[in-house]
Amino acid sequence: MEALFGSYGVEWLNLLVRWLHLITGIAWIGASFYFVWLDNSIRPPKPGSPLAKAGVSGELWAVHGGGFYNPQKYLVAPAELPSDLHWFKWEAYATWLSGFAMLFIVYYFNASAMMIDKNVADLSSLQAVAVGLGTLAGGWIVYDLLCKSPLGEKPAVLGSVLFVLIVAAAYVLTHTLSGRAAYIHVGAMIGTMMVGNVLFVIIPGQRKLVEAMEKGQSPDPIYGKRAKVRSVHNNYFTLPVLLIMISNHYAMTYSHAYSWLILGAIMAAGVLIRHFFNLRHAGRVSLGFPVAGVILLVAVAIAIAPAPRKAVAAQPVAAADGHGHGDAAAAPTAADIARSGHDIGAVQQVVTARCASCHSAQPTQAGFASAPGGVMLDTPEQTKQHAAKIYQRAVQNKDMPLANMTQMTDSERQMIGTWFESGAN
């Protein structure tokens, strides 16, 4: 039972909450995509028809799962309020709550390992968490004020300003937190904007419409218009948020010196591609948008491709004991690096000292109950098995060890690179 209250229990909590977050996210995003498609696909009824007289602004017929469906949209509201009215809100709330729980479980409970990179900023755990929480609250406040400002009447200008705001936040965060934490907090900030739209604008506006009808009053269409604007914003936010949700698996993005710019470019590509589908649902095919998005993605991939590795002169530094504490051992010499192509023993010493505190059958690094990604490096055979991953993360991307907690040196990265490029035998 003791294990359930330690790192092992946290991993199970991580798994279950992440699963919940994925399920609720699919429900929310799926509903968002469906209603944007529906809104762009409905066609107005014929003038003078019963539907037009009833206040229906558009309808369509669809077939799915062996049944025919005939959804209809009212310009403001139907003449009589239906007794059974479904509200699309819990999907959004559950997604944000589970995502916020994930931030605590993965990042805030282990901020020293997951949020802090001393090479970026020398923060305490409390400071790092404060930066994260401040980003979520501050992002929503600034975004909401911009939407309520005169810019709210100029969608294209507002969209451009919001994009600059998000990229600026990415710049600040990547110069404050570790790369992974910076990316995930940009995504959490956007996600907070999205759920804030639902909680503070869309649902209250819909309640105003319902309350007016219950009182026998004519609903004010302004509430529906405001809700529509925020709903459209959420639609364009979706692809960037999904990208960031999976970004922690792709270190070549968040570990780059210009990670904030890379994130901005990829998000822009997602917006361009989403815009194509929105136009297509409305009957317009503009291939320039997805083509531009793909070109942007290819340009980013080419720009951040690993450069040829340069030799690094050996420097005498203290080796780490697996927890970032030196033991007075010397770093690899030039001779060590030269022969490492044929010496797994020398490479294994580096891997054991710098990597095995996390990547082990029994991790000693606080916060890890099992080896991340199932990659264990306790033996030379395991190190050979994962040679390509070690080379990519430790030599090319240099994002491992995590925040370089164990102080892997350039000489040691050079040794691993020489060994891998010589066949990893």
Q: 3-class secondary structure for 138-175? A: HHHHHHHHHHHCHHHHCHHHHHHHHHHHHHHHHHHHHC
Closest to 419 measured CA to CA, from 360, 307, 342, 357: 342
Residue that terminates a domain, selected from 280, 303, 326? 303
Average pLDDT over residues 251-259: 90
Q: Within this chain, do residues 293 and 393 fall inside the same structural domain, yes or no?
A: no
CB 191 within 8 A of CB 98: no
Number of neighbours of residue 16 by Cβ within 10 angstroms: 13
pLDDT of residue 326: 45
Computed from CA positions of residues 308, 313, 315, 320, in that sequence, does the dihedral angle turn out positive or negative? Answer: positive
Same domain, 377 and 299: no
Name the token pair of 93.
Answer: 């709330």
Of 256, 283, 303, at which residue does a domain stop? 303
In a domain, 68, yes or no: no
Task: Show Cβ contacts of residue 382 under 8 Å, excluding neighbours closer than 6 positions.
Answer: 376
Q: What is the pLDDT of residue 316?
A: 42
* DSSP H or E segment with residue 69: strand 67-69
Q: Does a structural domain hold residue 348? A: yes
Q: Tell me, yes or no, whether 133 and 211 share the same domain.
A: yes
Same domain, 352 and 412: yes
Locus of tokens 């028809």: 49
First to last CA, the chain: 42
Pair (133, 177) in one structural domain = yes
The residue range of the domain holding 400 is 334-421
Does residue 223 form part of some domain? Answer: yes
- Mean pLDDT, residues 347-356 taken together: 92
Residue 315 in this model has a pLDDT that exceeds 60 = no
251 and 395 fall within a common domain: no
228 and 267 share one domain = yes
Q: What is the number of structural domains in the chain?
A: 2
At 324 the pLDDT is 44
Q: Which has more confidence, 343 or 401?
A: 401
My answer on whether 172 and 257 are in the same domain is: yes
In a domain, 190, yes or no: yes
Which 8-state DSSP code applies to residue 56? E
Q: Mean per-residue pLDDT for 222-231?
A: 88
| Range in 4-8, 108-112, 188-192, 393-397 the model is least confident about | 4-8
Is the domain of 247 the same as that of 395?
A: no
User: What sign for the dihedral angle of Cα 270, 273, 275, 281?
Assistant: negative
270: closest CA among 294, 303, 253, 248?
294
In tens, the pLDDT along 256-282 reads 999 999 999 999 999 999 999 989 888
Q: Is residue 386 part of a domain?
A: yes
Nearest CA among 323, 253, 357, 370 for reference residue 14: 370
Average pLDDT (400-407) is: 86
CB 106 within 8 A of CB 14: yes
Where do we find the tokens 């501050």?
Answer: 138
15 is a domain residue: no
Q: Within 10 A of 23 (CB to CB), how many other CB atoms are there?
A: 14
Q: Are residues 408 and 260 in the same domain?
A: no
pLDDT, mean over the chain: 88
Residue 299 lies in a domain: yes
Q: Specify the pLDDT at position 281.
A: 83
Asked whether the beta carbons of 174 and 71 are under 8 A apart, the reply is no
Give the pLDDT score at 183: 97
pLDDT at residue 147 tops 60: yes
Whether the predicted pLDDT of 312 surpasses 60: no
Given a cut of 60, whether residue 323 has pLDDT beyond it is no
Rounded Cα distance, 365 and 357, in Å: 5
- Per DSSP bridges, beta strands 56-59 and 72-74 are antiparallel
115, part of any domain: yes
pLDDT band for 404, please (50, 70, 90 cuts): confident
Share of the chain above pLDDT 90, in %: 55
Residue 63 DSSP SS3: strand
Mean pLDDT of 186-202: 97
**Domain ends where: 258, 284, 303?**
303
- Answer whether 0.85 is exceeded by the pTM: no
Indicate whether 372 and 413 sit together in one domain.
yes
Lowest mean pLDDT among 60-64, 84-88, 201-205, 378-382: 84-88
Q: Are residues 344 and 273 in the same domain?
A: no
